[in-house]
Amino acid sequence: MEESSNVKKVNSGGGKGFTMPEMVKNMGSVDKNVRVGAGGALFLVGLFGSKLWLVLGLIILATVYFGICPIYSFLKHDTL
C-alpha cells in the first residue's frame, strides 16, 4: 500500500506502527485574516464574559500563528 507524501509511519515500540499526518502549513492568507478577526473577537468577548470564548479565541489564534489547521490536515484540505 502506497502512503501519501504527508503521512509518516510511526512505530511505537515493537508493535505495528500507525500513520500520523505530518504538520504541514495548510492555511492561506484569506483564511488567516478571517481567523484573526474571529479569534480576536472571541478573545475579547472572553476577557469580559465566559472563559470558554477566551479559550476558543486562543485556539483559533494559535492556528493562525502556526499556519496549521488540524481539521484541514485530517480532511486533507488546504487553502494555500
Q: How confident is the model at residue 1 (pLDDT cuts 50, 70, 90)?
A: very low
Task: Give the mean pLDDT of 64-71.
Answer: 90
What pLDDT shows up at residue 65? 94
- Give the CA distances from residue 37 to residues 13, 61, 64, 76, in Å, rounded to whole numbers and listed in that order: 44, 9, 11, 24
Confidence class for position 59, pLDDT limits 50, 70, 90: very high
pLDDT tens-digit readout, 7-34: 555 455 555 666 666 678 888 899 999 9
Q: How many CB atoms lie within 10 A of CB 63?
A: 19
Per-domain boundaries in the chain: 23-75
Q: What is the pLDDT of residue 8?
A: 53
pTM: 0.69
